[in-house]
Amino acid sequence: MTDVRISTEGRLGRIRLNRPRALHALNTAMCAAMLDALEAWRADPAIEGVILDHAEGRGFCAGGDIRMIGESGAGDGAAARDFFRIEYQLNHRLFTYAKPIVAFMDGVTMGGGVGISQPAQLRIATENTKFAMPETGIGLFPDVGGGWYLSRLPGHIGEYLALTGARLDGGECLAVGLATHFLPAERLDHAKIAIQADPVFAEDALEAFSAPAPEARILSHRAEIDRLFAGDTVEDIVAALAADGGDWAIAQAATLATKSPQALKVSLKLVRDGRYMPTFEDEMRQEYAVATRVVQRPDFAEGVRAAIVDKDNAPRWHPATLDGVTDHVIDQIFAPLPEAEAWAPA
């Protein structure tokens, strides 16, 4: 069984993630295969659009191959660097693709799944969508373009999602702009058939099958998010949450207390930098430099141990407190790589 099914159906290119036991988490070979398919279709006049979905199971894509990245990061990091390089080239290719791409976020859409769905011009949420960038919980950060996408959400929703790893449902994704359409899952097959018939007018097909989305619960906390996650530093945000004293603020403070202090500071800087990043290529170049360093630091190894290996969900972060993560360390993590090692588009 191949981990990704690639085919053409009439005027449409089809990419179907097919690793259901891993919730379609991406590995290096899957990213390379998708990158090759997109390149082949790019110059093929017979292909007018692309659909990106999953073949079976409850997840669209749960992320990347964290176990492999963790094992590599504990060693020389070469396999992790290779994965990030190819995955980010795929993210960039999707972002710059001239032909319409329709991504069906039907199910778990986290980490790497965000990276391959958000570049699509048309992004479909359903009642099954569970969207999150939960990387601070394993000592990582919202990569795959997270700095670009989260920084462009309304107000300070991007900071909130990046730091807490909060999950959004399909209605919430539509409300904040992470999805362009909401379709009941039972209508997806019909929509795909309509798109296949005329890929150029995919948006019209989606409009025809769309339905009213559920109420977006995140909007009821919009004022609190914008006020409490506006601080210049993570320390400022934590202090604002503590000073507020409301139930919602207390819950967010408790969540942040479980996250890697280093990852929190990296993630906040990533979102704040992303807001002013000149191009998506620049974003990917910075994220690659950050990722290749973070995966070889102690917190990522500890996060993988706690979440994936021992599954005790009791990580022992180092440093254990925010004040232990110095500006010097953050500057080292974000420093550009030497030209010979830096990321570049495919």
Catalytic center residues: 64, 112, 135, 143
Sheet holding 59-61, edge to edge: 59-61, 108-110, 130-132
- Rounded alpha-carbon distances, angstroms, from residue 209 to 8, 138, 163, 312: 23, 38, 35, 43
Is the backbone of residue 24 left (phi > 0), alpha (psi -120 to 50) or beta?
left
DSSP one-letter code for 243: H
Q: What is the DSSP code string of 53-108?
A: EESSSSEEE--B-HHHHHHHHTTT-HHHHHHHHHHHHHHHHHHH-SS-EEEEE-SE
Please report which residue ranges of 118-156 form alpha helices under DSSP H: 146-151
DSSP one-letter code for 340: T
Contact 176, 218 (CB under 8 A): yes
Which residues have CB under 8 Å from 301's CB, separation 6+? 70, 73, 74, 139
Quote the tokens at residue 119.
């570049």
Helix (H) or strand (E) holding 51: strand 49-54
Contact 20, 55 (CB under 8 A): yes
Which residues have CB under 8 Å from 345's CB, separation 6+? 89, 92, 93, 96, 281, 284
Please report which residue ranges of 152-279 form alpha helices under DSSP H: 157-164, 170-176, 188-197, 202-209, 222-228, 234-244, 247-256, 261-274
Contact 41, 13 (CB under 8 A): yes
